[in-house]
Amino acid sequence: MLGSVASQEQALLQRLPPSHREGAFPRSLLAPSERIVFETKPRLVGFVGVPLLVSVIWSMIWGGAFLATFNVANWGGEVAAIVIVIAPVWCWPLLRLRNWRGSAYALTDVRVVRRSGSGGSQLQDARYDLVQQVQSDGTTIRFRIARIAGVGAAYHGGGLLGDQVVWKDVEFAAQVQVFAQAFIALYAQKIRDDQILQALRLRATANKVTCAYCHSLVDLAVLPAQRFKCPNCSAPILPPG
């Protein structure tokens, strides 16, 4: 199974979407054994474009109005008035630029992740076996989470946030959606197979203990009553409980 997953992953990596940006997602936010397969940032124009355009238009309108009535004799007051009227509107694109710098999206070998908020203060993720559907609409990609009681897209700190993880303003969103859907299907099946294997292992080792001397697995059900000794090395075995 592992070899099959690895070979299929290598085939998928040959078709990485053009919007893949190495180093876009901070490695400090990953688990020790977790690795990134695809990472990107939202489009800058999508974050800053509209606020920047509004700020420029606002500045041109009010700047022109002030210049038309500019009084040289009171130039200090005139300049102060211009700054008071125009400066606040530029906080909007600057704030959006700060949010863009802290935003990033990633597909790891375990989950889909979205980093957002001022300075990247918010982290939202979902395990692949919980992702039910991947949809793209223009430049937006939605990873919809299966509706299970108590399950949602997790925020850092353990909270839940709705039934989807949303990537906004994604370049080549259609290609990213196709890649993500194939990759999630591959690793969701691997996660389910690992869970089944773990359950089988637990069932196989139920009512069994490991000998502290020879490290063999001893089935307590086959030992004679009141005679808990390892059948391999005759060392005493302390039954559980």
Judged against a pLDDT cut of 60, whether residue 143 lies above it is answered with: yes
Judged against a pLDDT cut of 80, whether residue 57 lies above it is answered with: yes
Res 75: pLDDT: 67
- If one counts the domains in the chain, the total is 3
Judged against a pLDDT cut of 80, whether residue 103 lies above it is answered with: yes
Residues 163 and 60 in one domain: no
The pLDDT-based confidence of 160 (bands split at 50, 70, 90) is very low
CATH code of the domain covering residue 136: 2.30.29
Judged against a pLDDT cut of 50, whether residue 9 lies above it is answered with: yes
pLDDT tens per residue across span 165-176: 999 999 999 999
Asked if 130 and 192 count as a contact pair (C-beta separation under 8 A), the reply is no
Residues 108 and 162 in one domain: yes
Residues 170 and 227 in one domain: no
Residues 195 and 220 in one domain: no
Res 162: pLDDT: 62
Asked if 55 and 89 count as a contact pair (C-beta separation under 8 A), the reply is yes
> What is the pTM assigned to this prediction?
0.69
Given 61, 78, 98, which residue is the final one in a domain? 98
Residues 215 and 191 in one domain: no
Residues 113 and 217 in one domain: no
What share of the chain in percent tops pLDDT 90?
A: 24
Residues 75 and 32 in one domain: no
The span from the CA of 103 to the CA of 110, in Å, is: 20
Residues 140 and 83 in one domain: no
Residues 109 and 171 in one domain: yes
Buried b (16+ CB within 10 A) or exposed e, 181-214: bbbbebbbebbeeeeeeeeeeeeeeeeebebeee
The span from the CA of 66 to the CA of 199, in Å, is: 75
Residues 17 and 125 in one domain: yes
Residues 34 and 150 in one domain: yes
Span 58-70, average pLDDT:
75
Residues 138 and 220 in one domain: no
Res 208: pLDDT: 72
Res 26: pLDDT: 92
The pLDDT-based confidence of 120 (bands split at 50, 70, 90) is low
Domain encompassing residue 59: 46-98
Given 62, 83, 98, which residue is the final one in a domain? 98
Which H/E stretch holds residue 57?
Answer: helix 44-68
